[in-house]
Amino acid sequence: MIKENYNTGISSEVYTIKSKIRLIDIFNSIIDKKAEVILDLLNKLSFKKTIKKEDNIIIIGTYFTGIGIGKILSLNEFKNITIIDIYPHLEEFIDSNIGGDLKRNIKFSSNLDLIPTGDIIIDTTGLGGITEEQSSKFNPKLFIIEDPIAEDNDKSLNEKNNIYSRLESVNSENKYILKTLGLNTKTSGTMTLTIDVLRQTMDNILKKEGVLYCACEMRFFEEIIFKENNIKKFLNISNSPAIKVSTISIFECDREIENILDKIHSKIISEYM
């Protein structure tokens, strides 16, 4: 049975297929992959009593890994979670569907001075984020940093990436790196991966017999979020179908999206491995 909505297009012999998968579903699928491996690590360390679920957790950066990690930890009985972000309007994401449901209160602040108070610090700021000097003031039980580089396929980006010196600057006995890859993208950002999910899905769909063309619902979201500061506009657009196809043959484009999403995977790397 075809999952997608479809209707006739320019004529009765041409159909327009709309995926049931929305942009927000793609965002959340990628966010979940990242958040799940963080949760798994923290649960293991909690079981070993390296950390406690009552520990003060500071997540640096909201967009989008941070909000996903915060929400999944809040759903799993971690009690003291604060997201720190220099953009105050990103607090709106806490009450949105980005990153999933929220069952417990997550605090939000733009005060960077709070970061060193964390027992657990998770730095998702990537390129141009927290500096080595700031990192040297951190003394947590556990420190995790997200690697913004995905496949190590761009020399300039590799040279710009300073997470290893930031990692070295932090005074902690437990340091880990969050790594996400799978699509041969240059960076591991959720937006980068989302764009490539759409691009690769459309490439595959265009190879199908009977397809006239396809399009994706994609704007330059960073401009909406960080220049217009319009989270509501972004959320409205993100509820749109991810893919629309003009074709003479009806097929499941949701499956095409899922096939690309399945290639993405996250893992935790220990500094000491």
Tens of pLDDT, residues 142-181 = 999 999 999 989 999 999 999 999 999 999 999 999 999 9
Across the range 64-68, mean pLDDT stands at 96
Identify the band that residue 273 occupies on the pLDDT scale cut at 50, 70 and 90.
very low
Question: Do 102 and 35 meet the contact criterion of CB atoms below 8 Å apart?
Answer: no
Give the model's pLDDT for residue 22: 96
Could you report the per-residue pLDDT of 219-248, keeping only the tens digit for each? Answer: 889 999 999 999 999 999 999 999 999 999
Could you tell me the CA-to-CA distances from 198 to 175, 221, 262 in Å, in that order?
Answer: 34, 14, 13
User: Average pLDDT of the chain?
Assistant: 93
Going by pLDDT thresholds of 50, 70 and 90, the confidence category of residue 10 is: low
Largest CA distance in the chain: 67
